[in-house]
């Protein structure tokens, strides 16, 4: 049966790109077929090119968190000291993953809503850093390029890993030229595809230092298989095809098409902030320069609960996101990361104003 569902203004999952939806309607593909091998090869090459990397991208069946853990275990030994600046829920996830893998995370705590700066690097020996580019829980874009520079100035051999889950395809990001050794993302964010496929990027320095670790999340095992156009285990092949087809349809020239897209997404998010300013809403990011193009986050205006606000948007056919961790019940988030027609986005802005004008 046909099903009506709210359109998603959430920062992932997002409204699907038409090419993704179309890919899902095809007959089941066998992942050991030549057609599947071409998809795996093509997707890996496109992913690496989109981050301007001479390294390699690895696909993993799972969520972005699976790729976060796989990269940590592949690149660091137990007891490694890695800097994790924490100013949101996804940075906290790095800490949890690092601890579960036996690392010794060097955690610096920052206000949720603030951007971390290079001066926040703690003193002492450092073997690496686990950074968050777009912190989805606060709507802050952290300056990972300058953070990486600070880490490398202190410890040239340290490996810098970036959570690009909501920044990939949405904010400017380059791997080696920005001093980054690895990044991770997932299918259900900027790639406008269903959840279920994670990406790990390994720059040449990370490739050299890859070590086997575990089994299902072992990047070295996956890399060996994927260099042959295979995967080590049965991949979520529909989602591989969806992401492949979206990248081809949306950015046929790869990176050359991205700058315009970043501008579109930044503008789309800025318009939510502009509407918020008209309504007197207080943004979560403490400074305008710190706003991520992936999501706009606002404190709930007086008189609104998170549930009431969600219900008011739902009445108009939209789903928005609440807060997480210490911001639960205190903020709401909207995102233009997914696929929208121009008319649909206009409707989103107008409904945003209509709902919140009641405040």
Which residues participate in the annotated binding site for substrate?
333
Q: Count of residues binding its own copies (CB under 8 A)? A: 56
Closest CA to 183 of 219, 150, 155, 215: 219
Contact with its own copies (CB under 8 A): which of 27, 124, 156, 252? 27
Residue nearer to its own copies on the CB measure, 25 or 341? 25
Residue nearer to its own copies on the CB measure, 113 or 338? 338
Which residues carry a binding-site annotation? Answer: 333
* CA pseudo-torsion sign 234, 248, 293, 352: negative
Closest CA to 36 of 265, 215, 228, 189: 228
Segment 125 to 144, residues that bind its own copies, using CB under 8 A? none
Contact between 37 and 44 under an 8 Å Cβ cutoff? The reply is no
Contact between 81 and 106 under an 8 Å Cβ cutoff? The reply is yes
Q: Where are the beta strands (DSSP E) in 110-241?
A: 128-132, 134-135, 140-141, 159-163, 182-186, 197-202
CB of 240 to its own copies, least distance (A): 10
**319 by DSSP, 3-state: which?**
strand
CB of 138 to its own copies, least distance (A): 18
Residue nearer to its own copies on the CB measure, 53 or 136? 136
CB of 10 to its own copies, least distance (A): 6
Closest CA to 217 of 318, 116, 39, 72: 72
Segment 166 to 225, residues that bind its own copies, using CB under 8 A? 186, 188, 194-197, 214-218
Peptide linkage before 13 cis (omega within 30 of 0): yes
Q: Is 11 in the site for its own copies (CB under 8 A)?
A: no
Q: CA-to-CA distance for 141 and 260, rounded, in angstroms?
A: 19
CB of 40 to its own copies, least distance (A): 13
Binding mask 40-79 for its own copies (x = CB under 8 A): ---------------------xxxxxx--x----------
Q: Is 271 in the site for its own copies (CB under 8 A)?
A: no
Q: Pick the stretch among 25-33, 84-92, 296-304, 348-356 that binds its own copies (CB under 8 A).
A: 25-33
Contact between 275 and 268 under an 8 Å Cβ cutoff? The reply is no
Segment 317 to 336, residues that bind its own copies, using CB under 8 A? 319
Length, in residues, of the chain = 359
Q: CA-to-CA distance for 67 and 57, rounded, in angstroms?
A: 11
Contact with its own copies (CB under 8 A): which of 227, 233, 277, 344? 233
Q: CA-to-CA distance for 125 and 254, rounded, in angstroms?
A: 39
Q: Is 26 in the site for its own copies (CB under 8 A)?
A: yes
Contact with its own copies (CB under 8 A): which of 3, 78, 124, 343? 3
Closest CA to 297 of 286, 285, 309, 313: 285
Residue nearer to its own copies on the CB measure, 93 or 205? 93
Cα-Cα-Cα-Cα torsion 180, 186, 190, 193, nearest 10 degrees, comes to 150
CB of 305 to its own copies, least distance (A): 17
Residue numbers at the binding site for its own copies (CB under 8 A): 1, 3-8, 10, 12-16, 21-22, 24-31, 33, 35, 61-66, 69, 96-97, 100-101, 186, 188, 194-197, 214-218, 233-239, 319, 338
């Amino acid at each position: 049966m046909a099903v009506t569902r709210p359109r998603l203004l959430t920062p992932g999952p997002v409204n699907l790109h038409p090419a993704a939806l179309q890919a899902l309607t095809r007959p089941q593909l066998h992942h050991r077929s030549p057609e599947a091998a071409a998809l795996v090869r093509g997707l890996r090459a496109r992913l690496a090119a989109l981050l301007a990397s001479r390294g390699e991208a690895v696909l993993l069946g799972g969520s972005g968190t699976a790729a976060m853990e796989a990269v940590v275990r592949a690149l660091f030994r137990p007891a490694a000291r890695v800097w994790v600046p924490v100013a949101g829920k996804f940075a906290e996830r790095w800490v949890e993953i690092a601890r579960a893998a036996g690392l010794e995370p060097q955690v610096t705590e920052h206000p949720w809503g603030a951007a971390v700066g290079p001066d926040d690097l703690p003193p002492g020996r450092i073997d690496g850093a686990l950074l968050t580019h777009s912190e989805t829980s606060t709507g802050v874009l952290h300056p990972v390029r300058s953070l990486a520079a600070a880490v490398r100035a202190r410890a040239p051999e340290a490996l810098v890993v970036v959570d690009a889950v909501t920044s990939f395809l949405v904010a400017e990001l380059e791997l080696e030229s920005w001093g980054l050794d690895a990044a991770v993302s997932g299918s259900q964010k900027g790639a406008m595809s269903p959840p279920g496929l994670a990406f790990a990027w390994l720059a040449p320095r990370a490739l050299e230092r890859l070590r086997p670790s575990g089994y299902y999340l072992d990047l070295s095992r996956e890399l060996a298989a994927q260099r042959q156009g295979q995967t080590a285990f049965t991949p979520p092949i529909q989602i591989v095809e969806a992401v492949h087809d979206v990248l081809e349809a949306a950015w046929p020239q790869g990176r050359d098409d991205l700058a315009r897209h970043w501008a579109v997404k930044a503008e789309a998010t800025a318009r939510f902030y502009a509407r918020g300013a008209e309504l007197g809403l207080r943004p979560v990011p403490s400074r305008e320069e710190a706003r991520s193009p992936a999501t706009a986050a606002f404190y709930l205006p007086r008189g609104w609960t998170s549930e009431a606000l969600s219900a008011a948007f739902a009445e108009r056919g939209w789903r928005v996101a609440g807060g997480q961790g210490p911001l639960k019940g205190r903020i709401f988030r909207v995102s233009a990361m997914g696929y929208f027609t121009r008319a649909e986005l206009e409707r989103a802005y107008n409904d945003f104003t209509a709902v919140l004008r009641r405040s």
